[in-house]
Amino acid sequence: MVNYLSRLQKLQEKMQRKQIDGFVVTQNVDIYYFTGTMQTGYLFIPAEGEAVFYVRRSIVRAQEESAVLVEELGSMRSFGERLKKQSPQLFEDGRSPILATEYDVLPVQVFERLRTAVPNANWTDGSLLVRETRMIKSPAEIAKIKEAAHVIDIAYEKAVNHVKEGMHEFELMSMIELTIRLNGHAGLMRMRGYNQELITGMVGSGAAAAMPTYFDGPAGGQGLSAAAPQSSSRKKIGQNEPVLVDIGCNIDGYVIDQTRTLVIGELSEELTRAYVVSERILRETEALLKPGTICEELYANALRIAREEGLADHFMGYGADQVKFLGHGIGLEIDELPVLAKGFTYPLEPGMVIAIEPKFTFPGVGVVGIEDSYAITESGFEKLTVSRDGITIVKP
């Protein structure tokens, strides 16, 4: 059973420390996290007191699903007056309350409507407060991610059993997508980052996997066209080339992120060695996965190993397209906090769930690597990924 009151209280505690009077939650995933429904509207959370979800559509469904009080939004022109009526102490004696909202995802046009509706408020960015609240997962949230991990393992094993030389990348990807859909995958993987989109993942073989793209990751894939420049392409999978199977699954909103490397035949000595180094990075990172470890230290340690092995130029991409992280939080979105990157000084805490993905890119040749997801516990970590490790070798 989800304790939505506890989630709201945690955010209110953060608001009080920052002297924020109220929070207007606008993004659908954030609204779902705090209410249990994903309808269109504005969730108002005062620093003290009861939250109210002002719904535009569908108020009927919101009333059925929401864990907080639901009211019809009505006209935006009256929204400010509704807030004054709900929380008069915030506006008494001509006071200008400090209100927060999610600047990282809120369109300017919508923000301007909010400012017009509540003209006497002072607005501030509350994005980090929401993301930090969501960063710590409950046992129920972790259970959903575990379920997704088991579903993605079923799909990976089916892919291994059916992959063959001459099969198009998108054909194998379609088989994976069908399998996970039949086992409860919601059909989408949500991302918070501006202009970032994610299909279920990708199957990328040889040079197509190493094709640079706008996707903020070490391997985005060639895609089907310039209009969808990521994920699987029409390239045929060949012998003795790396096939990167970087896939996810969304069960009841919660996602798993996993990567495995397979080959029909055998990999070259160079690629095999790079893969071994990726596993070394993962194992040494695992040894540091415990409460108190600073996130940026995990990235720095991975970079050190890549340099020691003479593979720094290929680590997490190549050239100008290298990404500067080792891993990232997962949950309702695929790009949650914390990030294992320079400048992220969060200490690991129990309840954090992190995908760690050491990969090596060789332009014109392919990408090799591995990605597992972990929950931080009181004494260390729990590995959530269940698929087999190592290079999966398929006989021609």
**DSSP string computed for 98-128:** EEEE-TTT--HHHHHHHHHHSTTPEEEE-HH
What pLDDT was estimated at residue 93? 83
Give the span between the Cα atoms of 196 and 184, in whole angstroms: 24
3-class DSSP state of 352: coil
Give the span between the Cα atoms of 71 and 91, in whole angstroms: 20
What pLDDT was estimated at residue 103? 98
What pLDDT was estimated at residue 1? 75
Instruction: For domain 136-394, give the CATH number.
Output: 3.90.230.10
**In the chain, which residues have pLDDT < 70?**
none
The answer to whether the 4-132 and 136-394 domains have the same CATH topology is: no
3-class DSSP state of 329: strand
- The pLDDT tens digits of the residues spanning 114-152 come to 999 999 999 999 999 999 999 999 999 999 999 999 999
Task: Count CB atoms within 10 A of the CB of residue 207.
Answer: 16
Domain ranges of the chain: 4-132, 136-394
Give the span between the Cα atoms of 219 and 127, in whole angstroms: 27
Which residue reads 């954090």 in tokens? 352
Q: Which one-letter amino acid corresponds to residue 145?
A: I
**What H or E segment, with its residue span, contains residue 179?**
helix 169-182
Strand 353-356 with 336-340, pairing? unpaired
Answer CATH for 4-132 from 3.90.1150.10, 2.40.50.840, 3.10.20.600, 3.40.350.10: 3.40.350.10
For residue 354, what are its two tokens? 């992190």
Q: Directed axis angle between helix 108-117 and helix 79-86, to 10°?
A: 60
What pLDDT was estimated at residue 339? 98
Q: Tell me if the pTM is above 0.85.
A: yes
**CA-wise closest residue to 147 among 331, 384, 372:** 384
What pLDDT was estimated at residue 199? 86
